[in-house]
Amino acid sequence: MRFAILALLAAIALPAHAFTFQYLANPIPNVSAIDFSYRAEVDLSGDSFSVSGVAFYGSFRNKLGDPPVPGTGLGTAYGLYSEFHGVGALTQIAPGVVRGDFSNFQMNLAVDPLLDTRSLSFTPGPGGGNESVFATNTGDDSIILTGNLLQGQTHNILDLNRGSFNILVDPTGVSPIIAGLAGPLRFSGVSTAIDGLVVPPGVAVDLDLTGSGNLAAVVPEPQTPLMVGVGAFLLLILRKLRAHE
């Protein structure tokens, strides 16, 4: 079964296209993905959820699976980050497995020339009130694109406190810094720690969510909306099988 899952995941991978990132004097050609780590907060209310967070980018890649592109200046000469927020509906699709379907999601991509932008600290749980996570020290920063929801889902396995998300966004307001971007972006990754998830309907405030992922330029195909959810779900099932061996 494990090999069947891996084969199906490979078959449904979305093809990528490339763009040129030209913030510094030496442009970085053929970029298809940028890696990030993130922290976010999640609120649950009945069958609904909301999320807000900040992702900080660490490396460019020509292709997913390739080594990072060296000498780009990212993290030393400038920073890149995204603020994101979204809402949606929750459904239990199997015992202990919860899917979230986004009805609204927005993210941005911003350049931080002074490397001084930080994510707002928050108090997990109800003790800090109902907080949102956003970037601070942004006065010198420039937003170089905004992405609005095309389709997106999350899948979470409660007993592992793990999950994944896969969200397609339509980029607007694209700066000339990102040259040749000709399609949607995929904001996707894994949740390596998310404590306090409950089976819907339930209530939770400011669950602490951390993980990693990438922002990738993709070429959508007609089956993309279904494949986003299927791929994430199969990946989680594979991890669950491994964890219980």
CB contact at 8 A, 81 and 113: no
User: At a CB cut-off of 8 Å and minimum separation 6, what does 67 contact?
Assistant: 61
pLDDT tens digits for range 74-124: 999 999 999 999 999 999 998 889 999 999 999 999 999 999 999 988 777
Query: Where are the domains positioned within the chain?
Result: 2-243
Q: Which residues pair with 152 in a beta bridge?
A: 167
pLDDT tens digits for range 216-225: 998 755 444 4
Question: In the structure encoding, which two tokens stand for residue 218, read together?
Answer: 């993709």
For the entire predicted model, the pTM comes to 0.85
